[in-house]
Amino acid sequence: MNNSSRGLRKHLLVAVALSAGLVGNASQAADDSWVDLAVHNFGAPINTMWAEGELSFADDGTMVYCSAREDMAVAPGDPKDLYIATFNEETGSWNTPVNMGLPVNAAPATDVDPLRLGDDREPWISADGNTIYFKSDRSATTSPRNNNDLFITRKVNGNWTTPELIGFPISTNEGDEHCPAILQDGQTLCFASKRAGGYGGSDIYCSNQDANGEWMTPVNQGPNINTAAEEFHFSQDKDGMVYFSSARPGGYGGMDIWGAMQQGKNAWGEAHNLGPKINTAGADMCPALPPGGDSITWFSTRSDNSLGNIDIFWTNKANLPGR
């Protein structure tokens, strides 16, 4: 962990502790054992009375996430938008989130097709902070029934470009593709899809580009990852462990977060549940890994320590099974 990552984590611990009103001494908060052992709400200004969800981090700590907040939406009735938040190490708190605005977030276009609600979510941001993959319903069609596809936007001269559709064979007219992410190799795009030939529900697939930069036929990640239940949202750490959401049997109820170690290209060890610190009887979903490698974040409907109906949480990876 470099000094910048250590500093970000320490300030994050202090900020969460202070926002929770649990400690009065900021310099002591980061060292108290409860910080390392507890599950923490991200607090304001990230979590609100509205639903907050899927998130991802660049190496400098910049966070992109989605929210259903109505006070900053690009248009009335917009289900979810993408937001950017930066961490202020001087104050030890998150700066006010910024709605990424048009054209990254699409306004509802139900006059074109009733499925185009302006729903933009599930972002993954590159380590350098200059590329974001995400899911959107901006090209949804009623016939054939296609609820959403995957898109990419890039930061050019400080501005985010108009999102481009990641076309076939990644996005399809049948698969409702969602939850894109790049593995630690920097080349493998993984995502969830309901396309034919899977194990049931949403399965996780991965693809690489050929020598011409074209995406090759996605590979289903197999029975250690996918089941007859829903699986989605791959997030890989630098040790090779991938964390993902699954409704498979053996969990604590609803959606749980599971982990599996990579054993080779498109090959994974047996999945294991991340345990009761992470998973609850509610929906615990969409893990993400802050810089530094020693913590994990996700969003949850858990009722304890919640600011709204769905909030973003984090805990130290020391609380995961086998750590």
pLDDT tens for the chain, 323 residues: list them.
444 444 455 445 444 443 443 333 334 444 557 777 789 999 999 999 999 999 999 999 999 999 999 999 999 999 999 999 998 888 888 999 999 999 999 999 999 999 999 999 999 999 999 999 999 999 999 999 999 999 999 999 999 999 999 999 999 999 999 999 999 999 999 999 999 999 999 999 999 999 999 999 999 999 999 999 999 999 999 999 999 999 999 999 889 999 999 999 999 999 999 999 999 999 999 999 999 889 999 999 998 877 777 999 999 998 898 76
- Measured CA to CA, the distance from residue 232 to residue 202 in angstroms comes to 7
Contact between 246 and 230 (Cβ < 8 Å): yes
- Measured CA to CA, the distance from residue 53 to residue 41 in angstroms comes to 12
Q: Is 265 exposed, middle or buried (0-12, 13-18, 19+ CB in 10 A)?
A: exposed
Determine the pLDDT at residue 88.
85
- Measured CA to CA, the distance from residue 93 to residue 29 in angstroms comes to 14
- Measured CA to CA, the distance from residue 262 to residue 145 in angstroms comes to 34
Q: Which CATH architecture has domain 3-319?
A: 6 Propeller (2.120)
- Measured CA to CA, the distance from residue 59 to residue 199 in angstroms comes to 34
Determine the pLDDT at residue 91.
81
Contact between 261 and 240 (Cβ < 8 Å): yes
- Measured CA to CA, the distance from residue 280 to residue 234 in angstroms comes to 20
- Measured CA to CA, the distance from residue 172 to residue 178 in angstroms comes to 11
Phi-psi region of 213 (alpha: psi -120 to 50; beta: other; left: phi over 0): left
**Dihedral, 185, 162, 213, 132 alpha carbons, nearest 10:** 10
Q: pTM of the prediction?
A: 0.90
Question: Under DSSP, is residue 121 helix (H, G, I), strand (E, B) or coil?
Answer: strand
Q: Is 215 exposed, middle or buried (0-12, 13-18, 19+ CB in 10 A)?
A: middle
Strand partners, 54: none
Tokens of 112: 């074109």
Give the contacts of 7 (CB within 8 A, at least 6 positions apart).
Answer: 89
3-state helix, strand, coil in the chain (%, to 5): 10, 35, 55
Determine the pLDDT at residue 9.
53
Tokens of 256: 């749980």
Determine the pLDDT at residue 275.
95
Tokens of 235: 């997030």
